[in-house]
Amino acid sequence: MAQNVFEPWNDPAEKPLIQFKGVTKRFGEFVAIDNQTFDIYEREFFALLGPSGCGKTTMMRMLAGFETPTEGTILLGGQDMAPIPPNKRAINMMFQSYALFPHLSVWENIAFGLRRDNKPKAEIEARVAEMLKLTRLEQFAKRKPHQISGGQRQRVALARCLAKAPKLLLLDEPMGALDAKLRQATQFELMDIQEKTGTTFVIVTHDQEEAMTVASRVAVMDNGRIIQADTPARIYEMPNSVYVADFIGEVTIIPGKVHRRDKGYDVTFAEGQPTLYSEFDAEFDNGQTGYLALRPEKVAISAERPEGRTNAVQGKIIDIAYLGNLSTYHVVLPNGQKIKAQTANTRRLSRRDFTWEDTVWLSWTDTAAVLLKG
Amino acid sequence: MRRISWFNATSLTLGFAFLYLPMIILIIYSFNESKLVTVWAGFSTKWYGTLMSNQAFLDAALVTAKVALASSSIATVLGTMAALVLVRAGRFYGRTLFSGMIYAPLVMPEVITGLSLLLLFIGIGLDRGVFTIILAHTTFTMCFVSVVVSSRLVTFDRSLEEAALDLGCSPFDAFRLVTLPIIAPAVISGWLLAFTLSLDDLVIASFTAGPSSTTLPIKIWSAVRLGVSPEINALSTIMIGIVAAAVIAASLMTKRASLRQQADERAAVRA
């Protein structure tokens, strides 16, 4: 593999910046974080992704120092963070509400953290000017937070927490308050700034597209646990569980009995239905229940049975989700199993080949599906 | 503009007459030439002159000002602290009891507050004077400050304080540099409320005042018992004037601040 690929988590010589060691956080009876151990490396853009209440915000607040772990330790650069209060940590946080100080101007907001360190005036001025330039806010320096737009406020919040050049920057749903267009532009801006400054970013989000776009690694969380932490591509292509496969993107899950054959497994899922075959590197016992996870874009739809495909089933279209560029066909098999198939709308809508109630063939390659244990 | 109907006009007039007629009569009679309060004998400002040369009234005014300034300032500090704890500390054992105890003096009969303070001061052998009135007024105005400030704190975004801590503030600095400036309007109106309450308190002051420390309300009350003099009318008119000026100034300030905010927001939308 090429040298310039950024994968410190695969390099045993690399020392992690952040280490969670057996961290548990309980609020009364409620377990917010359940015995988590993982590492975050320098210059990483690490995303914590999950539904609300999965513990991702608690994880971030423990890093910032607003919550203390009930059990376990969090290390920053090898140092235990437990005794260090939030104001003494080399970590800054960008709040979901931005938490800009309404009584201070944009300039004063950005200078706030620097002033606390009693830095010389000239140094503060130079640093604030640099931050204003980085976030393209020069002409708004004298404005108050309520005199600027939502997107500008977001950039002020970012500039303010970057100003102190923290070792680690925490972003709590940084784009939650922006509309879709602005959000996309801001995501790329954020990646750009992260690359320029070389800061380690940890972002909390419930938006999977956002996590996939910006992050070097995504940690998918559920009920206080990280289910899988991996690169966006591996999370999507090689989910380790039905939960992850289902959480990220669209997927069809077909449960069935598996039997070893050649380099993969046969999956029998229903009486009267053809046996499916998946070439997938996993350990299953013969007769064990497996879950075939199939991405809709990997399923082809055709009127005739395609030649030379092992995986081909016939069904009826019951629903079509038209997204403009794409259409997702919901096809139901005679046994009631539904399968989603997605095609790009390369032709005009009026020239569409298939419509509701049409009987069609669905097919996919031997390597298209992923076989999961649960 | 909608025309005001005959019925509405009458209601309005009656309502305002009920509220303000006594005060208007008082103000008119303060400019009465005659020594008899109820007989009009022509316009004069001489009672204002005699008031200014009445040393007893001037002394009482000075005591009142001292007491009001000191007690409202102490009450503001204590009331703000109490509000912070009650809003911020979350659920601790006995929280309901504590908040109940903070707000109890709001509904406690003043006679009882005054009497209990009097007994306390006698019990611990504290000589009654300006100091004891300040203590007493602090006690009963503190809860008003606490109510005003805590209603503001409830809507205060905690993440602002967390952001201040995150950027390197000590908890005290976070309060001083972020929380206090933002809740300042509530603290100031709490102070104003405490100040006016102290200014016109008669009952508690008369329990806790000593012979050398008569406040203006006590002075007026005892003077009136000997018969209402036009001098009292003049004094009352001055007090009405001061209070009215303060209220109008405060509302103008609020109005201007909100107008400026709106203008700023419009500017932001255009930008």
Given strand A168-172, what is the order of strands in its sheet? A91-94, A168-172, A200-205, A45-49, A217-222, A225-230
Q: Among A215, A243, A271, where does a domain finish?
A: A243
A146 touches chain B (CB under 8 A): yes
pLDDT in the model for residue A53: 87
Subunit contact A95:B261, Cβ cutoff 8 A: no
Question: CATH number of the domain that A23 lies in?
Answer: 3.40.50.300
Mutate to test the interface with B, among A81, A116, A124, A162 (most CBs of B within 10 A): A116
Please state whether the predicted TM-score (pTM) of the whole model is above 0.90: no
Q: Which residue of B has its CA nearest to A99?
A: B160
Q: Are residues A272 and A230 in the same domain?
A: no
- Bridge partner residues of B43 (DSSP): B32
Q: Are residues A105 and A254 in the same domain?
A: no
If you count residue pairs, one on A and one on B, with CB atoms under 8 Å apart, how many are there?
75
CA separation (Å) from B217 to B60, B61, B196, B209, B244? 9, 9, 12, 12, 18
Residue B176, min C-alpha distance to chain A (Å): 13
Q: Enumerate the residues of chain B whose CB falls inside 8 A of the CB of residue A161.
A: 166-167
Q: Alpha-carbon distance A228 to A241, whole Å?
A: 8
Residue A225, min C-alpha distance to chain B (Å): 25
Q: Are residues A305 and A343 in the same domain?
A: yes
Q: Are residues A232 and A301 in the same domain?
A: no
Q: Are residues A239 and A260 in the same domain?
A: no
Percent of chain A clearing pLDDT 70 (strictly above): 99
Mutate to test the interface with B, among A95, A119, A128, A170 (most CBs of B within 10 A): A95
Query: CA dihedral in degrees (A238, A241, A246, A249; nearest 10)?
Result: -20
**Whole-number average pLDDT of chain B:** 87
Q: Which residue of B has its CA nearest to A168?
A: B166
- A284 falls within a domain: yes
Contacts of residue A92, Cβ cutoff 8 Å, sequence gap at least 6: A113, A161, A162, A164, A166, A168, A169, A170, B166, B167
Subunit contact A148:B178, Cβ cutoff 8 A: no
- A156 falls within a domain: yes
Q: Alpha-carbon distance A205 to A183, whole Å?
A: 13
**Spatial contact of A227 and A221, defined as CB atoms under 8 Å apart:** yes
pLDDT in the model for residue B210: 85
Q: Residue B232 belongs to what H/E stretch?
A: helix B230-270
Subunit contact A99:B267, Cβ cutoff 8 A: no
Using one digit for the tens of pLDDT, what is the confidence trace for A137-172? 999 999 999 889 888 999 999 999 999 999 999 999
pLDDT in the model for residue A289: 92
Q: Alpha-carbon distance A284 to A287, whole Å?
A: 8
- A255 falls within a domain: yes
Contacts of residue A293, Cβ cutoff 8 Å, sequence gap at least 6: A239, A242, A245, A246, A251, A252, A253, A369, A370, A371, A372
Q: Which residues of B26-43 are buried (b: 16+ CB within 10 A; e: fewer)?
A: bbebbbbeeeebeeeeee
- A374 falls within a domain: no
Subunit contact A148:B271, Cβ cutoff 8 A: yes
Cα B3 to chain centroid distance, Å, stands at: 37
Q: Alpha-carbon distance B223 to B70, whole Å?
A: 26
Using one digit for the tens of pLDDT, what is the confidence trace for A75-117? 999 999 999 999 999 999 999 999 999 999 999 999 999 999 9
Q: Are residues A276 and A239 in the same domain?
A: no
Q: Among A223, A243, A263, where does a domain finish?
A: A243
Subunit contact A87:B265, Cβ cutoff 8 A: no
Say yes or no to pLDDT of B179 above 50: yes
Tokens of B156: 């205060």
* Over residues A124-135, mean pLDDT: 93
What is the total residue count of chain A? 374
Using one digit for the tens of pLDDT, what is the confidence trace for A220-266? 999 999 999 999 999 999 999 999 999 998 999 999 999 998 888 99
Tokens of A143: 């404005």
- A145 falls within a domain: yes
pLDDT in the model for residue B88: 83
Q: Are strands A71-76 and A18-27 parallel, antiparallel or unpaired?
A: antiparallel
pLDDT in the model for residue B51: 86
Tokens of B213: 């420390």
Q: How far apart, in Å, do the first and last CA atoms of chain A sit? A: 32
Residue A58, min C-alpha distance to chain B (Å): 14
Say yes or no to pLDDT of B268 above 70: no
> Which 3-state string (H, E, C) describes B166-229?
HCCCCHHHHHHHHHHHHHHHHHHHHHHHHHHHHHCCCHHHHHHCCCCCCCHHHHHHHHHHCCCC
Subunit contact B160:A101, Cβ cutoff 8 A: yes
pLDDT in the model for residue A59: 93
| Alpha helices (H) in A75-147, listed in sequence order | 106-116, 121-134
Q: Are residues A91 and A163 in the same domain?
A: yes
Tokens of A177: 């308050």
Q: Residue A260 belongs to what H/E stretch?
A: strand A252-261
B261 touches chain A (CB under 8 A): yes
Of B159, B167, B264, nearest to A116 by CB-CB distance is: B167
- How buried is A11 (Cβ within 10 angstroms: 0-12 exposed, 13-18 middle, 19+ buried)? exposed
Q: Which residues of B129-139 are buried (b: 16+ CB within 10 A; e: fewer)?
A: bbbbbbbbbbb
User: What is the SS3 assignment for B88?
Assistant: helix
* Over residues B245-262, mean pLDDT: 77
B62-263 belongs to CATH 1.10.3720.10 = yes
The domain ranges of chain B are 62-263
Contacts of residue A297, Cβ cutoff 8 Å, sequence gap at least 6: A342
Subunit contact A147:B265, Cβ cutoff 8 A: yes
Number of H helices, E strands in chain A: 8, 20
A27 touches chain B (CB under 8 A): no
Q: Are residues A52 and A151 in the same domain?
A: yes
Q: Among A218, A243, A268, where does a domain finish?
A: A243
Full residue range of the structural domain in which residue A331 is found: 250-366
pLDDT in the model for residue A1: 44
Using one digit for the tens of pLDDT, what is the confidence trace for B97-116? 888 888 888 888 999 999 99
Query: CA dihedral in degrees (B119, B121, B124, B129; nearest 10)?
Result: -150
**Spatial contact of B47 and B234, defined as CB atoms under 8 Å apart:** yes
Residue A26 backbone zone (phi > 0: left; psi -120 to 50: alpha; other: beta): beta
Total of domains in chain A: 2
Of B163, B171, B271, nearest to A95 by CB-CB distance is: B163
* Over residues A109-131, mean pLDDT: 94
Q: Are residues A197 and A345 in the same domain?
A: no
CA separation (Å) from A366 to A265, A302, A312? 10, 17, 11
pLDDT band at A293 (very low <50, low <70, confident <90, very high): very high
Subunit contact B162:A95, Cβ cutoff 8 A: yes
Residue A104, min C-alpha distance to chain B (Å): 9
pLDDT in the model for residue A171: 94
Say yes or no to pLDDT of B85 above 50: yes
Q: Alpha-carbon distance B145 to A205, whole Å?
A: 41
Quick one: angle between helices B216-225 and B230-270, nearest 10? 140
Say yes or no to pLDDT of B125 above 80: yes
Q: Alpha-carbon distance A198 to A44, whole Å?
A: 9
Q: Are residues A239 and A254 in the same domain?
A: no
Q: Are residues A37 and A70 in the same domain?
A: yes
Subunit contact B165:A87, Cβ cutoff 8 A: yes
Q: Enumerate the residues of chain B whose CB falls inside 8 A of the CB of residue A96.
A: 159
Interface of B with A in 175-194 (CB under 8 A): 177-178, 181-182
Q: Residue A311 belongs to what H/E stretch?
A: strand A311-322
Subunit contact B167:A92, Cβ cutoff 8 A: yes
Query: How many CB atoms sit inside 10 A of residue A349's CB?
Result: 9
Mutate to test the interface with A, among B156, B167, B170, B258 (most CBs of A within 10 A): B167
CA separation (Å) from A44 to A47, A76, A186, A232? 9, 14, 18, 13
**Spatial contact of B198 and B71, defined as CB atoms under 8 Å apart:** yes
Amino acid at A292: L
Q: Are residues A239 and A255 in the same domain?
A: no
Q: Alpha-carbon distance B29 to A327, whole Å?
A: 87
